[in-house]
Amino acid sequence: MLKNIIEAERDQDADCTRIGAVVRLAEQDIAVLKSGQLDPDEAHKKWSEIRDQTILAVRDVRRNVVKRADEAKETHREIIEAFFRERGAHPGDNKGRPLPEYSAILQEIPTKGLLDHLRYLVQIGDFVRAQSVRAAFELREDRYRYVLAFEKILAQLAFAEGTTLGKNQVSVEGK
Tell me the C-alpha distance between 117 and 114, whole Å: 5
pLDDT score for 135: 84
Q: pTM score > 0.85 for this model?
A: no
3-state secondary structure of 172: strand
Nearest CA among 83, 28, 25 for reference residue 56:
25
pLDDT in single tens digits along all 175 residues of the chain:
666 778 888 888 999 999 999 999 999 998 888 887 778 888 889 989 999 999 999 998 889 889 988 888 887 788 777 777 776 644 344 555 556 778 778 888 999 999 999 999 888 878 778 888 888 898 899 989 998 888 888 887 777 665 444 433 433 333 3
